């Protein structure tokens, strides 16, 4: 044992984002004071706002802030923090950092430096695991790194083989080699990546299992010689060796296999004198054989699914063990209840090869009431809130959505409803992609392996077919905003398209891409669909005309963002809202439909002269003014944002010109038909 362990009343969290907020939540519940650290990019971040104290570390770069050992230790000294929780990433598996904390008399909430070192070198770790009787994938883990020797070892193992950086992690310095002909090029590439990422070119070689599952075991040890496993998690759904969806327990796991893997994981931890929370990762082959892959000497991103099925707070366990206490429970006192999933929400664009995205979160909310979900069954671990900036400097993960159900099917149904209820605006995310994963027949059928996304890429990333029903539902959302229910039947009190001697009709054009708004008046334009809505009375149903089809339709606002859409007598509950000049409709059975809309009837169509005023199409609240009075604007440029029914609607310039004045400020309540601003069209 090399870490000092003693009681402490203040803990510094040497991390950021959702894990920092997660640790703070438990620390506060235990009566501990919390200290945050931050870079210049995170000065106004959520974890800083929630901490009792916060200390600046340095500039935005992690190298100049979160990875500065001296700055983190000095922050602990300044605030009287007796312990440091590293979260995951950054300094969480940095042995020299742990040694420095010991010298400073500060408790590290994690394993001793010797255990981190033992598992940090992949080759040495394999040797230790062999000694402990933990099953290993056939491979080469030796010190001799001669190219010819490595090639000979790969030939002996048999292709395909997996080349891995000995000091690596996170998919860096890792490649699958399908044949002897490609070995040298792959080796050279892996060494370059490994040198750049870890300053180390050593490689290890393993037999590449073609359809393995990634199953990991949560272990916990204390300083009194006690060790337990808190069962397993399946993390097979990955992209570029990064996990996307995790679940616990692993599907198809027998009691005997669970015990064998759990006991092997505990042996692995004992072999290196482990203390605290750790995860032993295995590859599980189709025949039930399992092989040690690596051990993560820290809390895992996916730890909440284990908490959900065991009812235990693993961060509390970490803090208590760091104080020198014994494990709260023995092995025979731990049980599994139900099933849990975790979906990682990233700021990235799946349609652009998962490129990270940046921007400001104009809205970030989980509408549990609207989705009819039990708050005890759904958990959102997040490091952001509405209004927060997503920068380019750090990992793009925004949050983790975790759900629990009585069995896998129930938990999966809850996950799909929760994903539909998650409203993220302002930054591109993988939310819709996650829902496609969770509703994929192969995933629902437990046909899992680590190449799941690669195997099903064509269907997971294919453009969604937009049905007539989807267009109808989206049009109803727009019509609801343009024509709010009115108590009076007087034409002078209505703003729904009523005209003397003319049908009570509103026409909307819908398109799947925002750039089509400019040509949305052209009913024959490709991927632009015109929907005509008409009704006899303000309280009556809509008659929607879409192409050759006419539907009798109603929409009813329920709780939160939930609406009930009835088409020809078929009623469906959906999550729906206006966002970014578009309509977003989400169902728990098939993911997201996002359509941009524009009104094209006689009230605002481009044949007449541009209006000198803009009026509110609905009762609501002014969210933001986007331009200054007197500012010149172009047609279609956003001018202001309104919100109603938890839906945002952007008012755009009707023509080139300038805004002369606004009649309302952000936060003001406006009525339907109120004049919002004075507009001067360009002569």
The token pair at 213 is 């599952």
In the block, tokens 């990019």 appear at: 41
**CA atoms of 339 and 308, how far apart (whole Å):** 8
Which of 16, 191, 202, 298 is labelled catalytic?
298
Cβ neighbours of 299 (radius 10 Å): 26
677 pairs with which residues across the strands? 614, 662
Contact 360, 389 (CB under 8 A): yes
CA 271 to chain centroid = 35
Cβ within 8 Å of residue 114, ≥6 positions away: 2, 95, 272, 273
The C-alpha angle 393, 396, 401, rounded to 5 degrees, equals: 150
> Would you say 83 and 106 are in contact if contact means Cβ atoms under 8 Å apart?
yes
Class of residue 539 by CB neighbours under 10 A (exposed 0-12, middle 13-18, buried 19+): exposed
363 catalytic residue (yes or no) = no
Asked whether 654 and 611 are in contact (CB, 8 A), the reply is yes
Rg (CA), the chain: 29
Strand pairing of 203-207 and 174-177? Answer: unpaired
DSSP β-bridge partners for residue 83: 11, 107
> What is the distance between the alpha carbons of residues 403 and 664, in angstroms, rounded to a whole number?
42
Distance CA 125, CA 279 (A): 14
- How far is residue 78's CA from residue 604's CA, in Å, rounded to a whole number? 62
Residues assigned a catalytic role: 298
């Amino acid at each position: 044992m090399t870490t000092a362990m003693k009681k402490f009343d203040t803990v510094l969290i040497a991390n950021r984002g959702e894990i920092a907020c997660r640790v703070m939540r438990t620390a506060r519940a235990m009566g501990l004071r919390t200290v945050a650290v931050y870079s210049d990019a995170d000065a106004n971040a959520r974890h800083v706002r929630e901490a009792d104290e916060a200390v600046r570390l340095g500039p935005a770069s992690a190298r100049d802030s979160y990875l500065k050992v001296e700055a983190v230790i000095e922050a602990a000294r300044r605030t009287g923090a007796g312990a440091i929780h590293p979260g995951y990433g950054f300094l969480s598996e940095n042995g020299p950092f742990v040694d420095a904390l010991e010298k400073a008399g500060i408790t590290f909430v994690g394993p001793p430096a010797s255990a981190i070192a033992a598992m940090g070198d992949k080759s040495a770790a394999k040797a230790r695991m062999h000694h402990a009787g933990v099953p290993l994938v056939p491979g080469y883990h030796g010190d001799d790194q001669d190219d010819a020797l490595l090639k000979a070892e790969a030939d002996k193992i048999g292709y395909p083989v997996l080349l891995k950086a000995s000091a690596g992690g996170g998919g860096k310095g890792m490649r699958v080699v399908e044949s002897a002909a490609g070995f040298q090029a792959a080796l050279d590439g892996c060494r370059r990546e490994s040198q750049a990422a870890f300053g180390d070119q050593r490689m290890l070689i393993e037999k590449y299992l073609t359809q393995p599952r990634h199953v990991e075991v949560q272990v916990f040890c204390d300083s009194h010689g006690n060790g337990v496993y808190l069962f397993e998690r399946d993390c097979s759904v990955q992209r570029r060796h990064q996990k996307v969806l995790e679940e616990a327990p692993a599907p198809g796991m027998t009691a005997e296999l669970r015990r064998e893997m759990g006991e092997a994981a505990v042996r692995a931890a004992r072999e290196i004198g482990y203390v605290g929370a750790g995860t032993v990762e295995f590859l599980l082959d189709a025949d039930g054989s399992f092989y040690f892959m690596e051990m993560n000497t820290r809390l895992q991103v996916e730890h909440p699914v284990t908490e959900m099925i065991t009812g235990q707070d693993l961060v509390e366990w970490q803090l208590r063990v760091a104080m020198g206490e014994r494990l709260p429970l023995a092995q025979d006192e731990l049980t599994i209840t139900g099933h849990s999933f975790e979906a990682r929400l990233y700021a990235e664009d799946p349609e652009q090869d998962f490129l990270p995205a940046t921007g400001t979160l104009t809205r970030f909310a989980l509408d549990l009431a609207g989705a009819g979900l039990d708050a005890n069954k759904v958990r959102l671990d997040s490091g952001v809130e509405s209004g927060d900036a997503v920068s380019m400097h750090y990992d793009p993960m925004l949050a983790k959505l975790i759900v629990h159900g009585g069995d896998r099917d129930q938990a999966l149904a809850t996950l799909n409803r929760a994903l539909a209820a998650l409203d993220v605006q302002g930054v591109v995310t993988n939310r819709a992609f996650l829902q496609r994963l969770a509703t994929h027949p192969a995933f629902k059928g437990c046909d899992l392996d680590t190449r799941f996304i690669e195997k099903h890429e064509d269907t997971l990333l294919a453009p969604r077919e937009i049905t007539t029903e989807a267009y109808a539902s989206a049009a109803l959302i727009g019509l609801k905003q343009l024509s709010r229910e009115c108590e009076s039947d007087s034409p002078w009190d209505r703003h729904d398209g009523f005209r003397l001697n003319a049908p009570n009709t509103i026409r909307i054009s819908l398109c799947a891409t925002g750039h089509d708004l400019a040509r949305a008046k052209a009913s024959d334009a490709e991927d632009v669909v015109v929907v005509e809505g008409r009704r006899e009375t303000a309280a009556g149903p809509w008659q929607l005309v879409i192409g050759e089809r006419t539907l009798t339709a109603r929409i009813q606002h329920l709780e939160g963002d939930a609406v009930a859409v009835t088409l020809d007598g078929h009623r469906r509950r959906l999550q729906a809202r206006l966002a970014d000049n578009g309509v977003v409709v989400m169902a728990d059975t098939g993911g997201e439909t996002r359509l941009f809309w524009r009104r094209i009837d006689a009230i605002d169509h481009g044949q007449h002269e541009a209006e000198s005023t803009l009026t509110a199409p609905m009762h609501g609240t002014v969210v933001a003014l986007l331009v200054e009075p007197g500012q010149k604007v172009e047609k279609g440029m956003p001018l202001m944002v309104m919100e109603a029914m938890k839906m945002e609607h952007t008012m755009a310039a009707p023509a080139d010109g300038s805004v002369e004045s606004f009649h309302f400020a952000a936060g003001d309540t406006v009525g339907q038909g109120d004049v919002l601003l004075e507009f001067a069209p360009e002569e």
